[in-house]
Amino acid sequence: MDLDVVNMFVIAGGTLAIPILAFVASFLLWPSALIKIYYWYWRRTLGMQVRYVYHEDYQFCYSFRGRPGHKPSILMLHGFSAHKDMWLSVVKFLPKNLHLVCVDMPGHEGTTRSSLDDLSIDGQVKRIHQFVECLKLNKKPFHLIGTSMGGHVAGVYAAYYPSDVCSLSLVCPAGLQYSTDNQFVQRLKELQDSAAMEKIPLIPSTPEEMSEMLQLCSYVRFKVPQQILQGLVDVRLPHNNFYRKLFLEIVSEKSRYSLHQNMDKIKVPTQIIWGKQDQVLDVSGADMLAKSIANCQVELLENCGHSVVMERPRKTAKLIVDFLASVHSTGNNKKL
C-alpha cells in the first residue's frame, strides 16, 4: 500500500479518535461537564436562546423561542432544585410558532442568588412578577405553566395577578393541604422531628441518593449509568446548602399551603396535569383544585410519577396545546 494512503488513514483515524477519546474522558472523568454540554446542544437544536434581564441589581436568566404574536405567550416555571432546561423535553413537542419563555427560578442556575432574598412562595411570586414586567410579558395576558414548586408559584401568581394571566396549567403542583400524609411527607416529618433535615430525600449528595431520588420522583425506572449519577450529583453539590435553605422555607408554615389558601381566587381557565403514581405529591390534589377553581379541567396520566415533564413530555405538550386551542380558539375555530 502506498505510504501516502497509509498516512491518510492514520490522520483520518487520529482525527476521529480525538473527539471519541474526549467524549470517553468526559464521561469517565468529568460527567458534569458532559451534562452541561448536553443541555447547551439541546437548547441549540430546539432553537432556544439564553438571555439575561435585570430588575435593578437582580439578574434573571431565561431561555426563549419565538416572538409574541396573536397567540398567548407561554411562561414556564420549573420545580425545586431544577432549572429552565428541564422544560426542553416538552419544548421539543410544542409548535414552533408559539412564543415560549423558560426562566430560572430565584436562586437557581443563572438567576441571582442572594442571602437577603425572600425565598417564600410569596417572595418568589413577587420576583416572577418583576421578571414578567422586565420582559413586558404582561403587555397581553399570557399562559402560565408551573410544575411542583413552580406549580405552587404559578397558582399563587394567577391568584395575585389575575390580569397578567389568560390561562393556567399546573403540573402536580405543591402547596395543597391533604387530610392524610403520604409516605414521603411522613418521612419528612420524621426527619424534622429527629432534626436530621440534612438528609432531605430531594437533596442528594451521593450517586446512591441521586438514584433513590430518581426512583422517588419517577414511575418509570430509568437505568442511569453510575458516571451520569455522579455527574448529576457533582452539578448539584455546590448548591445543596441553598436547596436546603429553600426547601425549609417553602415547607414552613408561611408557605406550605399558599396554593391551598389562594386556589379559590384563581379565575382563569385552568388545566391540572398529574401523574397517577406520584409518590411526592398525592394525585388527590387534582380533585381538590378542580372543586375550588370554577373553570378547571383535570388530566391524570397512567403509569406516571411526579416527574411528569420528564416521563411524559410528548403527552404533556399535547395536553397543553389542546387546552390552549380549546380556551383560546379563534372565531373560525382554528387550532394552535
Which are the contacts of 90, defined by CB distance < 8 A and separation ≥ 6?
76, 309, 313, 316, 317, 320
Contacts of 278 (CB under 8 A, 6+ apart): 172, 304, 305, 306
Is the Cβ–Cβ distance between 157 and 171 less than 8 Å?
A: no
Phi, psi of 156 (to 5 degrees): -70, -35
* Annotated active-site residue in 148, 167, 255, 258: 148
Q: Is 278 a catalytic residue?
A: yes
* 126 Cβ contact partners less than 8 Å away, ≥ 6 residues apart: 118
- Residues contacting 150, CB < 8 A, separation 6+: 76, 77, 78, 79, 105, 173
Q: How would you class 84 by CB atoms within 10 Å of its CB: exposed for 0-12, middle for 13-18, buried for 19 or more?
A: buried
> 259: closest CA among 186, 182, 157, 185?
157
Angle 137-143-93 from CA coordinates, rounded to 5°? 110
Q: Write down the catalytic residue from 81, 278, 282, 307.
A: 278
Tell me the three cell numbers of residue 188: 419528612
* Paired strand residues for 76: 102, 145
Question: How far apart, in whole angstroms, are the C-alpha atoms of residue 203 and residue 180?
Answer: 24
Inter-residue contact 89 to 309 (CB < 8 Å)? yes
270 vs 145, 267, 322, CA distance in Å?
A: 10, 8, 13
Instruction: Name the residues annotated as catalytic.
Output: 148, 278, 306
